[in-house]
């Protein structure tokens, strides 16, 4: 991954489209953003999205923001605009089995690489959310909280989250005892209680310690001993 072109800066008040405008002023395009959804979940797939938005008014997505900050209805509206307006977009699904086989960090990097590789229009530059991703074949930049400050990353985050949420709702119909439609596989009190009562489902990720404990593969912590350790 590289820095921005020499002599270029992005002002803090540049808005969601500031990074793309800066790169285009230096003759760099097309510009792709890539992001994932589901890295912290203990059930279901990991999903990565990539998007290349056009320059000008055509690339301004109404209501676009970090997918985690949008309501479900707002995300669905943004998703419809993105797939209609984007010059290219892609979504990659990494199954829970592959997440277990690779480990979450490796699976995450692999998902982001695959999403960029699947774009119909090869990008000249890639913006990633938070950390650099090597092996993309082009220059790029890791942007801190990129899904909040770079439009193409925000668009990618919406593609990934909407796709994954839809998949988790489908899994809920197969495994209704876990309420996947509500928490989408992330750890909540309701999810933890279901794991204790029913054990892991076939779509849980066995690398997560809470899932392994529910399966009887890891001991539960001795709360009394933990309290003693904390007081020492």
* Domain ranges (residues) in the chain: 18-172, 174-218
pLDDT tens digits along 17-57:
999 999 999 999 999 999 999 999 999 999 999 999 999 99
pLDDT tens digits along 113-142:
999 999 999 999 999 999 899 999 999 999
Choice between 3 and 98, residue whose per-residue pLDDT is larger: 98
Whole-number Å distance between alpha carbons of 5 and 219: 52
221 confidence band (pLDDT: 50, 70, 90):
confident
Whole-number Å distance between alpha carbons of 55 and 19: 12
pLDDT at 1: 52
Q: In 3D, which of 30, 81, 92, 80 has the Cα closest to residue 57?
A: 81
* Second-level CATH architecture of 18-172: 2-Layer Sandwich (3.30)
7 confidence band (pLDDT: 50, 70, 90):
low
Whole-number Å distance between alpha carbons of 122 and 137: 10
pLDDT at 14: 61
Alpha helix segments (H runs only) across 5-150: 18-25, 72-85, 96-102, 104-117, 146-149
Structure tokens at 41: 């979940």
How much is the CA Rg of the chain, to the nearest whole Å?
20
User: Is pLDDT of 226 > 60?
Assistant: no
Please, what is the average pLDDT of the chain?
A: 91
User: Is pLDDT of 152 > 80?
Assistant: yes
pLDDT at 63: 94
pLDDT (mean) for 74-99: 98
CA 206 to chain centre: 20
pLDDT at 228: 37
The pair phi, psi for residue 127, each rounded to 5°, is -100, 130
| pTM score of the predicted model | 0.91
pLDDT (mean) for 87-103: 97
The neighbouring-strand residues paired with 93 are: 47
Whole-number Å distance between alpha carbons of 183 and 140: 33
Whole-number Å distance between alpha carbons of 154 and 162: 12
pLDDT at 230: 37
């Amino acid at each position: 991954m590289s820095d921005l072109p020499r002599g270029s800066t992005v002002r803090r008040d540049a808005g969601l489209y500031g990074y793309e405008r800066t790169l285009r002023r230096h003759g760099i395009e097309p510009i792709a953003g890539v992001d994932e959804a589901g890295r912290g979940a203990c059930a279901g797939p990991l999903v990565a999205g990539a998007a290349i938005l056009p320059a000008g008014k055509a690339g301004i997505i109404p209501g676009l923001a970090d997918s985690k900050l949008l309501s479900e209805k707002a995300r669905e509206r943004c998703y419809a605009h993105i797939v209609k307006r984007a010059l290219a977009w892609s979504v990659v699904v990494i199954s829970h089995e592959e997440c277990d086989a690779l480990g979450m960090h490796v699976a995450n990097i692999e998902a982001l690489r695959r999403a960029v590789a699947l774009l119909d229009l090869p990008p000249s530059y890639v913006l990633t959310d938070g950390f650099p991703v090597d092996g993309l074949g082009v220059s790029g930049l890791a942007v801190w909280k990129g899904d909040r400050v770079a439009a193409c990353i925000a668009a990618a985050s919406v593609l990934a989250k909407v796709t994954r949420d839809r998949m988790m709702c489908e899994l809920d119909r197969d495994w209704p005892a876990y309420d996947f439609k509500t928490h989408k596989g992330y750890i909540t009190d309701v999810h933890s209680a279901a794991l204790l009562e029913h054990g892991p489902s076939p779509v849980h990720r066995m690398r997560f310690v809470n899932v392994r404990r529910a399966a009887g593969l890891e001991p539960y912590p001795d709360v009394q001993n933990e309290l003693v350790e904390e007081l020492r």
